[in-house]
Structure 1
């Protein structure tokens, strides 16, 4: 009987299961015990393996062992990170997330490792996931806000709020579809808006591709919400990797795209369109080979573009790309030769960085002056595949720009007009009300003063698919002044007289040649820091005061003739001359010069070799002994020990902390670093700065609203997009220049918060401030900046004219209508380094 034969089998199976459970329980128990023993002996790798085994065998124990497992994972991950076993580190996190798929702490921690290693988009995705798992998780919230620009870049909001741009694209797409373009591919779809325009216009087949995982997932949500998930096929691919029929069944008749940046070609539109014409698009109308269906031709929106440019004088651009001071805080900077930024328009540069930076000219502090009339630099037809293929091999075009106004040649500013079709055009010009910035090609040579009547020789090329505009010479009174690359030496004067050229050539044959001038590359933010004389001069005064105090104390306490060294540590981010300034102050002491005593032992934490080389040159040429300056990170085992003691028995006399990021935010883990620094200071020692005061004000700014979220209640072009992309709204905006921000000041500046780095007991985490309204309006944001107090007498503001720092602002979720004379209560909270502010009217 079937039942009779099955019963004994079930019984036997049940008995085996019981024995297996006993063995499994024994193995789980021993693994957990071994994990605890390994933790006790700090063998985190073996402990991690034991936990994996135990929790995979006994899933019911996961909640019980969660905290210990996390601790083990984080410790083991730090060890793997320190010895460079990156793949093993990520493997461990993958295993951990299989065990704990909804553990927001583990997900957030993996994001932090990804971010430190440069995987910003992936890191931002993990922070966002952790925040979705637990919306009130402060660590994930702070991390997410800092990297949200990499997850969904802010220009997505600006473009979706640019009604003129959206409408013109919609008109061009509608016209093309009604003209016979029945199959459409949207390259770099973003939110999917252009593909949806094509479908709404009546296209039979619509496809889209998106490389960013986050934007791909966002576009899928948007398509579903608008009922187009089944009618628009979207693939998570770069268009260059798309194939027929694998990804789309046939060639399409229309490609729509907006993969252009401020420099037009920087997002790879040339390469993607060449590939599209060869593999994804129907042939263009002028294609000569016989076609099976001659009536079927392809086209691209936009159809083409015209690039314009103008030579400008602009102090704000200059101070970020060229050293404007010869001395700083007692140091002679001219001895290092030329200092230049990595933004190079020369096609043969060794750097892989873009040849331009971007700025919104209308918002630059101090404005700009046009030194020439605008000129046309380039025309490009996106519907001519031969022209696209020949763009990079075009001969370099040389243009002569007539100078119409005397000034300093700081840059070429470039914008373009995008020709969507014959009737619809978009301009990114500086005078336009547009979401676009302009491309800036800085001039970094020493010779750059121009007069009316001069001519600027400009070379235009696209050698490596970047649009490059390079000022190569200035012509004045028949003489040509060459403007060579910063790394190639000083400018040469080429006389128009052949005899003079011959004499110069013969003179160059002398056997005693001068050494080639030195040149050092710094980031533009580091150059702006060096140009911040107020900050360095204030530091010089504060450090000098401390050194006098410490030397006086030593002489009164020590009877020996040789005094103990004064140890100074500079842990600034990036390039910094502050440690060298401290050593220089010791060298300049007249009293020490008389007795030959050199007390200051300065340590710098700069890591890059060219930074160290530059400091060595500065030290040598400014009379600082080589032994007085050391590079600290080469003497410690890892970055986490950067604040350790200079020697077992000694403490630091001064520790210089880099407290504010260039973007306008407090550096992460600042208070933790300050707490550790205080423990490593000798009596009478000092942390620089000793105190930071945060100031802010109430403003009304439509600009900040447009950059923070899709505004209004009406759907964008009839599509429901805002609720999905607005999930990525962040309340804190960075890199603001409050002096040029379009806004109305609704109050006077007030003190919002204070951080005492020398006295932790004086700090707090929450504070309420009452602010009186001086002008009626709607409070949309609270911009903030810092007064950095180096000591009780010296301070600098991050809102000053020569500040290398930008400002930041908290944008309110709901604008607050206020009237003059009313009071607004601000509740400020500082969690680690993240500031949050809420505002309510005071009854």
Structure 2
């Protein structure tokens, strides 16, 4: 008899298949058909709406429609972007990500839009997410490297690798805390290191603020990893927006900060300290009430600074800030007016000008020479709020500097001594091994002023707008002052007679300033980027282009029936005189891609001064609506005789989408026409360089001051170092230069996308980096190099995350890869295969700029 207590088993019934909904299916079918038809008609907005309806109703179609949906989204986003409909653009991306939340291509594309619109932190999050979804996604990798350079600037690595700087800050903080300053605010905390030093020294309360969202999140990670999450409160805001008791429970007794740049005040330290003294800090120690303890008074680390400066001669600075040549190729530049860089302390400088640039003087190609002894330009006490408040209204200080050496006056170089307290200080001088560069104030004149012992420089120092401004306003010789500034006033600022021109100055004083140029540049003035001025000063570059153009146009004219005119298109980035060089030849119509009206005006002046007919030069971008139409024909019946492509960025990387542009350009050439350049050969060599390592990542296995920081900030390590001066790089060369890759812009079949290069090691050492540069071939016989003394280009280098120990005579295998104009390089010993020592060089990392 069966067990009566046994319950019958429940049998799971198969669920009934969902009923077919003919009406729903019909709607999906019609919407999909409408989406495809609208896409065919280039009605991307309507196509996008139909795709959204289709895929929301029928998710099963996602895989089928993914590529078409992506294409539609990207095209519609481009239209919305061009119309300025930013909110609609991001709404579309949000809708797309609801459908495809793990689509790395859509995530990356949204990051690109965010970056271009200035939302760098948000863009970084999308690029990082895209890489997590697909770690080998090259576009996301390149974009993340680019954003990493913006979000975590390279000087963070240099600072953390600067052991002397770290130790002295730690000592000053320890001393202050032990003396009774136990409540601390770290302004601009970065990685949180100074705040952690304060807590480690015994501070009872530590607060920190950071404006950058990325650095704020990084600081939170670092502080938590070091067990201080409950001890240090970090807020994501500017210190000048902080209030008591909203952001701080009470005023603190110590502010620590390192918000100083090469020009001392450029990161806003004056504004932040004035606000801190009025709102966040306890009152300073007072002589009227010496009985107050350290815990009842406020103080700042650093306590103050002393600024020094000297006049220097430096050809590298000169060629980046003023025109040094009178012609480019066979084109006279005399009609251009005064061309100068945007770095100027002149009272007439516009808002876009910067008072100084920064350089590491010890690494400038060609070096520099001091023309005067260093002088003390300024002294500032950060613990004196009245002095801080009076800085901007302080009277201009004037100095007279005796010239100690003969040379061309090119710039004033400035550095400072940062006084952390009475015992600890840091110097940013050019002879110091420091993480700081020096501030450079170039002399903006139209001529080279040679000074000699016995001369005197008159210099003015001011702090207008809390920026340090230093100007050399006059050269004094034999009691006569000659102004270095272009001024319409009747007398020079130095009180002496104003020289109306250099020629007049020499006429008045036969022996004075003997090296001054006597050419007249007219009354026009135009601001060019430093790299554009260096390009104009690159004589070999323009001579080479001139010869190559001559050869090409002559060969086309002699090769058959007369074709008048010949069409030349220059799509160089920025200011370029190459179209004018072509237009000077008879029977040529040249098209320039220069966009700025001021630059177009200068080119028209140059055209007039060089006898170029008015209709021989046109500005092509005035006639096109978007960048995608730049490479087009001048009219339906004509093809280009020459198309000039800008192939290499100034920083040393191949330009984004170069090969795609070359492919399009080849289709638009007439028989016998050429792309300039014709091909590019990439060269590189093996080096050992601790300098490149320290500028690329936090080095060493030991924690920084005992804190675990490196694993977190090194997430933002980028594998390529740009704006490199290989001629002055501190390194040991481990091989001879070798050819890495050839990009043939006239024949895509001759361009290989992958090469394995054997490199013979000539010296034993640690292989830490592979610097690379380019030989740019205009034709078979004429070429220019990006690695020469007069080059306006810099070089770049792949930095290996894990250096390789190599010995003389052995072979290193370099894997060189090309993907969409992006070059990557891997390194391993012969026979080992590509291992963890390899890192990528993302030559298109600047594509987002």
Query: How does the TM-score come out when normalised to structure 1?
Result: 0.90
Which of 550, 556, 561 lines up with 1:557 in the alignment?
561
* Map of 2:106 onto structure 1: 106
* Map of 1:548 onto structure 2: 554
Q: Cα gap change, 1:303/1:95 in structure 2, threshold over 3 Å: closer, same or farther?
A: farther
* Map of 1:344 onto structure 2: 344
SS in 2 for 1:221: helix
* Map of 1:628 onto structure 2: 616
Return the offset for 1:822: 1.1
Instruction: Kindly tell me the number of residue pairs found equivalent between the two proteins.
Output: 796
CA RMSD of aligned residues (A): 2.7
- Structure 2 matches for 1:606-625, cutoff 5 A? 606-625=594-613
SS in 2 for 1:273: helix
- Structure 2 matches for 1:812-831, cutoff 5 A? 812-831=800-819
Q: Cα gap change, 1:307/1:56 in structure 2, threshold over 3 Å: closer, same or farther?
A: farther
Contact kept? 2:308, 2:415, Cα under 8 Å = yes
* Map of 1:446 onto structure 2: 446
Return the offset for 1:679: 0.4
* Map of 1:840 onto structure 2: 828
Contact kept? 2:308, 2:374, Cα under 8 Å = yes
* Map of 1:408 onto structure 2: 408
Question: Partners of 1:170 and 1:496 in 2: how far apart?
Answer: 51
* Map of 1:768 onto structure 2: 756
Contact kept? 2:55, 2:99, Cα under 8 Å = yes
The answer to which of 620-629 and 38-47 deviates more is: 38-47
Contact kept? 2:334, 2:521, Cα under 8 Å = no
Contact kept? 1:223, 1:229, Cα under 8 Å = yes
* CA displacement 1:453-492 (0-9 Å, x = unmatched): 111111100111110001111111111101114x869996
Return the offset for 1:46: 2.0
* Map of 2:846 onto structure 1: none
The answer to which of 176-185 and 746-755 deviates more is: 176-185
Contact kept? 1:178, 1:201, Cα under 8 Å = yes
Contact kept? 2:666, 2:675, Cα under 8 Å = yes
Contact kept? 2:335, 2:522, Cα under 8 Å = no
Return the offset for 1:495: 8.3
Q: Cα gap change, 1:761/1:305 in structure 2, threshold over 3 Å: closer, same or farther?
A: same
Q: Cα gap change, 1:777/1:33 in structure 2, threshold over 3 Å: closer, same or farther?
A: same
Contact kept? 1:779, 1:818, Cα under 8 Å = yes
The answer to which of 85-94 and 668-677 deviates more is: 85-94
Question: Partners of 1:56 and 1:232 in 2: how far apart?
Answer: 47
SS in 1 for 2:277: helix
Q: Cα gap change, 1:549/1:461 in structure 2, threshold over 3 Å: closer, same or farther?
A: same
Question: Partners of 1:261 and 1:637 in 2: how far apart?
Answer: 41
* Map of 1:470 onto structure 2: 471
Contact kept? 1:777, 1:818, Cα under 8 Å = yes
Contact kept? 1:826, 1:838, Cα under 8 Å = yes
Structure 1: segments with no counterpart, 5+ residues: 1-13, 505-513, 587-597
Return the offset for 1:178: 1.1
Return the offset for 1:142: 1.8
Contact kept? 2:180, 2:294, Cα under 8 Å = no
The answer to which of 663-672 and 33-42 deviates more is: 33-42
Q: Does 1:237 align with 2:241?
A: no
Return the offset for 1:42: 2.2
Contact kept? 1:356, 1:440, Cα under 8 Å = yes
Return the offset for 1:145: 2.5
SS in 2 for 1:312: strand
Which of 681, 688, 692 lines up with 1:700 in the alignment?
688
* CA displacement 1:41-77 (0-9 Å, x = unmatched): 3221122233344555666665554333322210101
Contact kept? 1:346, 1:468, Cα under 8 Å = no
Return the offset for 1:123: 3.5
* Map of 1:592 onto structure 2: none
- Structure 2 matches for 1:154-303, cutoff 5 A? 154-286=154-286, 296-303=296-303
Question: Partners of 1:691 and 1:633 in 2: how far apart?
Answer: 26
Contact kept? 2:253, 2:295, Cα under 8 Å = no
Question: Partners of 1:497 and 1:702 in 2: how far apart?
Answer: 53
Which of 592, 598, 601 lines up with 1:604 in the alignment?
592
Q: Cα gap change, 1:713/1:650 in structure 2, threshold over 3 Å: closer, same or farther?
A: same
* Map of 1:521 onto structure 2: 527
* CA displacement 1:247-283 (0-9 Å, x = unmatched): 2222111111111100000011111111111111112
Return the offset for 1:445: 1.0
Question: Partners of 1:651 and 1:491 in 2: how far apart?
Answer: 57
Question: Partners of 1:817 and 1:294 in 2: how far apart?
Answer: 53
Which of 675, 678, 685 lines up with 1:687 in the alignment?
675
* CA displacement 1:769-824 (0-9 Å, x = unmatched): 11111111111111000000000110011001100000000111211111111111
Q: Cα gap change, 1:290/1:773 in structure 2, threshold over 3 Å: closer, same or farther?
A: closer
Q: Does 1:744 align with 2:750?
A: no
* CA displacement 1:79-138 (0-9 Å, x = unmatched): 112333333223322333344343221121122223444554544443233223321101
Q: Does 1:654 align with 2:642?
A: yes
SS in 2 for 1:645: coil
Contact kept? 2:473, 2:485, Cα under 8 Å = yes
* Map of 1:593 onto structure 2: none
* Map of 2:12 onto structure 1: none
Question: Partners of 2:491 and 2:672 in 1: how far apart?
Answer: 51
* Map of 1:35 onto structure 2: 35
Which of 701, 716, 722 lines up with 1:728 in the alignment?
716
Q: Cα gap change, 1:626/1:116 in structure 2, threshold over 3 Å: closer, same or farther?
A: farther
Q: Does 1:461 align with 2:462?
A: yes
The answer to which of 31-40 and 575-584 deviates more is: 31-40
Q: Does 1:137 align with 2:137?
A: yes
Contact kept? 1:308, 1:377, Cα under 8 Å = yes
Q: Cα gap change, 1:287/1:245 in structure 2, threshold over 3 Å: closer, same or farther?
A: farther
Q: Cα gap change, 1:224/1:478 in structure 2, threshold over 3 Å: closer, same or farther?
A: same
* CA displacement 1:467-523 (0-9 Å, x = unmatched): 0001111111111101114x869996988599x9xxx9xxxxxxxxx9971111111
Question: Partners of 2:588 and 2:802 in 1: how far apart?
Answer: 54
Contact kept? 1:347, 1:464, Cα under 8 Å = no
Which of 645, 662, 666 lines up with 2:654 in the alignment?
666
Question: Partners of 1:212 and 1:525 in 2: how far apart?
Answer: 29
Contact kept? 1:354, 1:466, Cα under 8 Å = no
Contact kept? 1:251, 1:280, Cα under 8 Å = yes
Query: How does the TM-score come out when normalised to structure 2?
Result: 0.90
Question: Partners of 2:184 and 2:708 in 1: how far apart?
Answer: 21
